Each structure stands twice: as C-alpha cells, then as structure tokens.
Structure 1
Amino acid sequence: MNRKHFKSIARENIRINYLPWLIVAIISIFISYQQTSNDFGHQVHFRWLHILELVFSVGLARVAIDLSLHTFEDIKSSLFWNRQWLKEICAIFLINLYAALWGILLIIPGIMKSYAYSFVPYILAEDEEISISDAIAVSQDLTEGYKWELFVLDLSFILWDILAAFTFGLAAFYSEPYKKATWAQYYLNLSR
C-alpha cells in the first residue's frame, strides 16, 4: 500500500471540499477532547464526550466515505443517513470495550486489536444491514496483514499533532481532515 499516494488523494479531496471536511474535523476535535481533572463535573463532561463519540463515529465515517467517493451532498444527509443509532452506538461501545479488555492483557495486543476494529465505523456506514459481529469480523479480515501499515500511517501524522499542540490546536483544523480523508482512502482501497 502506498501511503504517500493515499495522502495525496486525501489532500486533493480536502482541497475540493474543505468546508465539509472542516465540519468533520471540528466534531472530531470536540469529541476527542479529554478532560484529565478528577472532580465530578469534569467526569460527567468526560462521559458526555464518550457518548458523543459513540453517537457520531459511524456518521463521521459515512461523511468521510461520501466525500472520498465524491457522492457528498450535505452534512445532514451524510451524517444522519442511517436510522439505526442504537446498533451503531452498541457497535462502537463493543469495539472500544474489546480493545480495552485486550489492552488489560498487554499493551501491544490492545493496540493491535484497536487497529483490527478500526474499520467497523466505515463498514457500518456503508452497510446498514450488517450485524455488529459481522462488521467486526469484516474489519478484522480487512486489516489482516495491514495493522503495521495502519500504525505507521498514524505515526506519519505525528508532526502534524506536534504542530497542532504548539499552535494551540489551530493546525488541527487542517491535520484532522487530512487524517480522516487518508483513513477513508485506506478503507476504500482495502474494501474494494
């Protein structure tokens, strides 16, 4: 798999449709924000962010796929296309739980399982009829032999993450869409 090729396609997709990618980035940045304080108010805030992650993961994957395939019409129709919210929430909760349980055993198996389950939101976004267990199995099959490449893909964005930290998050308004678009390209390439 040619990481540079997928990144160049992702940059072109962002150039064509920056505003929808920016909306995806803003939602992702907001959701991924994690509070480290231990008081009760921050714990409730932290839990709400996890609930939002459960709710929006599949919808954001659907937006990324639509943008990558050039079938995007508007955020509302892509983000809220499916009516099976409970199934999507359960699926994302289960893959997070499975990865956490694998992480309890050792760190490396937890990381490997996180990558094995990483395409579940994309699979659910494309096929609303698939069961959760089948989506997990398909994701594991798709990532078989590619977990290291996906890990290296994440590492290739580390300088963007450092730049975002030094610019107080401003660089994330480009780097997050860039990451999402590149991941969508990887998924589309492996699933076709």
Structure 2
Amino acid sequence: MSKKRFRENVRNQLQMKDKERVKEETEAVQNRLFAHDVWQKSSVIALTYAVGDEFPTKQIIEQAFNEGKRIAMPKCVPETKDMRFYEIEQLDQLEPSFFGLMEPDPDQCKKIVRDQIDLLIVPGLVYDRKGYRIGFGGGYFDRFLAGYRSFDTVSLAYREQLAAERFPNEPHDQRVNFVITADEVIECQ
C-alpha cells in the first residue's frame, strides 16, 4: 500500500472515532508521556501546535509551562523546506502561517539551536513499531532529524495510527526513539 493510501485510511478512521473515546485516549497518551523518563529529564521540549489530524498538543504545552519547562516551536521555511525553532513563553506568541499552521512569531521569540533541545515530539499520521512514520508529506521533520541528534524523539499516536502492516520507507525517512499510545510505550531504537 502507498503512503498516500495509508494517510487516507488513517484519516478516515480518525474522523469516524467516537469523541469520548478520543478524549479518553488523548488523556492516556499524555499521562504516559508525562510519566516517561524522556519527559521527566527534559527541560527544553520542541513540538508543533497541532492542527487538523495531528495529535493535540495544547495541553502538553500547558503542562510543560506548569512544570517550568521551556517550549520550542518550529517556523517552517518553505523555500528550503527547513525548520527554525523559537522559544515561546506563551501561546499568543504564535501566528497563523501557511496551510493553517500556527507558528512562532520570530519578532517576539528568541531562536533555539538544535543542541538546546532535549525532547522533540514529532508529528505524523501513521507509525510502525520500528519508529518509522508517515507524516503529512512535506518532509520537514525528516530533514531536521537527519544527521546529528542530541535529543530524544517521541511520537504520540491513537491506536488507529499504529500500522498493523509494514508501510513503504524511503532512504531519507527518519525514525523516532519512542511511539506512545494509550496502551504502551514502544521503544523503537
């Protein structure tokens, strides 16, 4: 099955999911994340502000702020398909960007370099047990994750997002260290 087909199947399953079940599963995944060592030992957490089909991150950002952790969020550079991370201190430092994304306003935030990040929460749509993911098609995270990494990587997923079968991987695809679902923490590397 193609990546496009995997994306379509998972999107359809997520749209049909019962809202109460989504709420319960979201809470269970977040609790597993907050209890995990990678969260506990991290002081700078990088993640996106979730939109659309992405696993919700607003409560994760708020929890990080409550625990005194620093939050870094990416600003995409479409011309090069790169990301630059900026520290936000409050959610109103985000601004609408292309494709309906919410990204940090560089005029209000200071830049964060790769070595300052302790934990990167990597978005996606479909995951396998080896840590490979099918994202939303831009390749931004695969480019950022290629090469040297001084930080842990985690993806958060609903049960429907964990693929039962292998999906196509390409040489540039990058794995995450952990996939966290409501049922388990999958150590991938």
TM (norm. structure 2) is 0.24
Bigger relative contact order (CA 8 A; separation at least 6)? 1
Task: Indicate the structure with greater strand content.
Answer: 2
TM (norm. structure 1) is 0.24
Task: Indicate the structure with greater helix content.
Answer: 1
